[in-house]
Amino acid sequence: MRLMMMVFAALLTGIFIVLLPMQNQENSIARPAYTVGVVLKAMDSEHWLAVRSSMQEAAQEKNIRLIVMTPENESAYDEQNQIIEDLFAGGIDALIVSPVNIHHTDQWVQEAKERGLPLLTIDEKIDGIPYVGSDNYAIGQTAAKEMAARLPEGASVGIIAGSANQDAHIQRVAGFRDYLSASHSLQLVDVEADETKYRQATIETEQMLKTHPDLQGLFVTSAMMTLGAIDATEMHTPAIHIIGVDTQNDTLAALKRGRIDAMISQDGHETGQLAINVIMDLLSGTAVEENNFIENDVITQDKADEYQIKEE
């Protein structure tokens, strides 16, 4: 009996010795390599939902813990700044931000540098900080070229832009304006910039049409605002040519119905994936480019179905 108990005890000890390194290995696999704070502009559009989901998927593959947060809206820079301060206090290894206001970023940019934390911006460019997103100036240039191809020389066009506190909209407007100035193809008669919202775009478009009844084209710098612009111009005769930016299901549906001439794509999935790749390079000490641009395609009515399938 005593011999059997000794054998049993030896077997248990052997099992424990074998299982212990396996348990330690499982714990090391489960423990995240890094914790990365992510502060986006908002979570009220398909674009930002796609950015978040692709970031989470890529982070899981690379064993990164993501803390994703957003302010109440794209005007709430005080709230966004406080969220960033809370992330600093909570202990993070790196920070990814899409600033809601490029004029109120100095404090957290400086603090990230003092803490030695890798910092990356997406959608909004800050000089000297690595960036992932669209080449927004090139988007404006492309939109102007597309508009010029659809209208007679000298036709009057306008811009309905998002917040002038966001570099993405500033650069899209600048690219569009500069192309027309250089080509002398169309006459830019009005630019309105306000909050990046459907209702604001509707109001601004209606006012622009009253002020410029001969208006023939509109460049709109976001998908949500494009929906507001097409609703405001629905009864206008002759039809207003509209080119927008971003792609989501409702704008693609409007494009297929011919209510929009073209959309310049901005793939949220590509943005999120690339952001995680770049932040991993920064964390590992690998040099990265300051500008890491995604692709931007011109989507016309005949390509809407193909693009929607690609996105899904």
In the chain, where are the structural domains located? Answer: 33-133+268-293, 136-264
227 and 251 Cβ atoms separated by less than 8 Å: yes
pLDDT for the residue numbered 29: 52
Greater model confidence, 57 or 72: 57
Percent share of the chain, pLDDT over 70: 89
Q: 237: pLDDT confidence band, cut at 50, 70 and 90?
A: confident
Burial class of residue 296 (count of CB atoms within 10 Å of its CB; 0-12, 13-18, 19+): buried
Over the chain, what is the mean pLDDT? 90
C-alpha dihedral, 173 to 197 to 303 to 299, nearest 10°: 10
168 and 122 Cβ atoms separated by less than 8 Å: no
Indicate if the pLDDT at residue 14 is higher than 70. no
Per-residue tokens: 226: 């494009």
Euclidean distance between CA atoms 288 and 300, whole angstroms: 34
Query: Among the listed ranges 7-16, 79-88, 157-166, which one has the minimum average pLDDT value?
Result: 7-16
Indicate if the pLDDT at residue 209 is higher than 50. yes
Amino acid 203 reads: I
Q: 30: pLDDT confidence band, cut at 50, 70 and 90?
A: low
Find the mean pLDDT for residues 112-134: 97
Per-residue tokens: 179: 């192309």
Find the mean pLDDT for residues 252-273: 95
Second-level CATH architecture of 136-264: 3-Layer(aba) Sandwich (3.40)
Considering Cα of 220, then 226, then 232, then 238, what sign does the dihedral take?
positive
Euclidean distance between CA atoms 205 and 233, whole angstroms: 8
Q: 311: pLDDT confidence band, cut at 50, 70 and 90?
A: low
Q: 196: pLDDT confidence band, cut at 50, 70 and 90?
A: confident
Does the pTM surpass 0.85? The reply is yes
pLDDT for the residue numbered 305: 85
Cβ neighbours, 10 Å, residue 259: 20
pLDDT for the residue numbered 203: 95
Per-residue tokens: 14: 């052997």
Same topology between domain 33-133+268-293 and domain 136-264: yes
CA distances from 209 to 31, 149, 198, 215, 247 (A): 58, 22, 17, 7, 25
Indicate if the pLDDT at residue 197 is higher than 50. yes
Euclidean distance between CA atoms 245 and 261, whole angstroms: 11
Q: How many residues does the chain have?
A: 312
CATH of 33-133+268-293, one of 3.30.2130.10, 3.40.50.1000, 3.30.70.20, 3.40.50.2300: 3.40.50.2300
Q: 309: pLDDT confidence band, cut at 50, 70 and 90?
A: low
